[in-house]
A = this chain, B = another copy of it.
Amino acid sequence: MAKKNVLKYVLLGLLNQRELAGYDIKKLFDCEIGDFWHSKHSQIYPELKRLEEEGYITSHTKIVGQKLEKRFYAITESGHTLLHHWLAVPLEPLQPTRDEFTLKLYLINDKHHPHLRQMFEQEILLHEAKFNYLRERRNLLFASSEKQKREFGHYLILSHAVMRKKCIWIG
């Protein structure tokens, strides 16, 4: 995937919330946001350097313990601008999803193939994990007050329409 360096914007987006060191970002990828984004530290550190060279972030060090200099990065004004430009860019209409599950499903012609059932069960586990994450995020973002719920009525209606269709497919 030689794509358009999305990591760059992920880093800007995270630094837009608060100052972070490279290692902190690595930890975020390992835990909190790992369900929908991940990068290795070997990619994070060079990218942070590049962003600083380009002026989108600044850094300063802080002594931890006796000797260790931990480097914290903060977003700059131009970084903030760049980030919001990216957020405004529409999602690509043709997401070239490389979905291994659907792929295998397509390549297995035999309905009685011994791995079919196992594959479905695995896929279901993956979806369940994703679902749990999404529900949590939704609770955080859209809270539970009736007032806020009304504001996002349109969102709920549209999303529900999609889900209903999916249920028709299954049922």
Interface residues of A in 18-50 (CB under 8 A from B): 33-38
Q: Are B169 and A166 in contact (CB under 8 A)?
A: no
| Nearest opposing residue in chain B for A3, CB measure | B98
Interface flag for A60 (CB, 8 Å): no
Q: Is the interface of A mostly helix, strand, loop or mixed?
A: helix
Q: Are B151 and A111 in contact (CB under 8 A)?
A: yes
Residues from chain B with Cβ under 8 Å of A117 in the complex: 154-155
Interface size class of A (residues with CB under 8 A): 35 or more
A130 to B7 CA separation, bound complex (whole angstroms): 26
Interface flag for A5 (CB, 8 Å): no
Q: Are B36 and A103 in contact (CB under 8 A)?
A: yes
| Max chain B C-beta neighbours (<10 A), residue from A83, A102, A121, A166 | A166
Interface flag for A159 (CB, 8 Å): yes
Q: Are B165 and A166 in contact (CB under 8 A)?
A: no
Interface residues of A in 53-111 (CB under 8 A from B): 83, 87-88, 90-109, 111
Q: Residue A158 contacts which of B107, B124, B126 (CB distance < 8 angstroms)?
A: B124
Q: Are A170 and B163 in contact (CB under 8 A)?
A: yes
Q: Are A163 and B163 in contact (CB under 8 A)?
A: yes
Residues from chain B with Cβ under 8 Å of A16 in the complex: 107
Interface membership of chain A positions 125-151, coded 1 if the CB is closer than 8 angstroms to chain B and 0 otherwise: 111101100110110011000001001
Residues from chain B with Cβ under 8 Å of A158 in the complex: 120-121, 124
7 residue pairs from A and B, CB less than 8 Å apart: A17-B109, A36-B99, A90-B118, A93-B122, A117-B155, A120-B155, A160-B171
